[in-house]
Amino acid sequence: MVLAGQAALVTGANSGIGKAVALGLGASGADVVVNYVTNPESAEEVAHRIEASGRRALAIKADVSREEDVQAMFAKAINHFGTLHICVNNAGLQRDAPLLDMTLKQWNEVISVNLTGQFLCAREAVREFKTRGVVREVSAAAGKLVFMSSVHQEIPWAGHVNYAASKGGVMQLMRSIAQEVAPLAIRANAIAPGAIRTPINKSAWETPAAYKELMTLVPYKRIGEPEDIAQAVAWLVSDAADYVTGATFFVDGGMTLFPGFTTGG
Ligand code: BGC
């Protein structure tokens, strides 16, 4: 219960990694805002599971790429919980296409949600963290931001240039924000997941042939589960990580260890 007395907002919290993170923060004692944009029933289900464990939860619909949606969501969340201590910028999507076929719409959609959405939510969160300041009995920091990046902030990804560019952007967005807000006792860090079993990459793990192919990229020889990411987030936002800011935590079973070089080079 290391997060008891704290309120967290998790974007894209009705499925995949966001869902596991919302449940994990609830299990660590936090009250949780479950943001979603589609499938309200799945967001309500996550909220009910958190409430069943004795915490408070609120599902809020907002498209993170829209400034007015984000501002309305933060106002509602702060009004409901009194304040916010943790913001996990998780919402993200892929719109894959080879470069020559990629439309401007596909490019813009990915950049708007994955990068602009993280900027908009981080800005609103920092406004609240700064206004409230540190409350020692609750947390050593005035607030904690977690940015969901990807191994593709580092690994180039043909056929996914919009996605890789968005995650490269998330890295410098996070690091620059971390530098700017550290004097306010606000910590900003990122998680860079590798291949995690979620709907976004179903085609990479749902058949035995696809899974076998995927494992050639994963030295640890198993796909990641959303809970692997949730554990890392719960630690990063706790006071146990109070001296950690501006860091990217790779949770990828070794995907960034260049497994192609195990025997080659
Ligand atoms: C992508 C997944 C992919 C994984 C590893 C993630 O960021 O969203 O589709 O399987 O990176 O390549």
Q: What is the pLDDT of residue 1?
A: 93
- φ/ψ of residue 148, rounded to 5: -85, 110
The CA-based diameter of the chain, rounded to the nearest angstrom, is 57
Give me the amino acid identity at 12. Answer: G
Quick check: CB of 194 below 6 Å from ligand 1? Answer: yes
Ranges of residues in the chain whose predicted pLDDT is under 50: none
3-state secondary structure of 255: helix
Q: Whose CA is nearest to atom 10 of ligand 1?
A: 195
Q: What is the pLDDT of residue 84?
A: 98
Q: What is the pLDDT of residue 198?
A: 98
Q: What is the pLDDT of residue 60?
A: 99
**Pairing between strand 7-10 and 31-36?**
parallel
Q: What is the pLDDT of residue 264?
A: 87
- At the fourth CATH level, the homologous superfamily of domain 7-252 is NAD(P)-binding Rossmann-like Domain (3.40.50.720)
- Tokens 């995650």 sit on residue: 167
Q: Which of 77, 50, 82, 83 is nearest to 61 (CA)?
A: 77
Mutate to test the pocket of ligand 1, among 110, 114, 147, 151 (most ligand atoms within 8 A of CB): 151
Mutate to test the pocket of ligand 1, among 196, 206, 218 (most ligand atoms within 8 A of CB): 196
Domain ranges of the chain: 7-252
| Catalytic annotation present for 163 | yes
Instruction: List all residues 6 or more positions away from 106 whose beta carbon is below 8 Å from its beta carbon.
Output: 95, 96, 97, 162
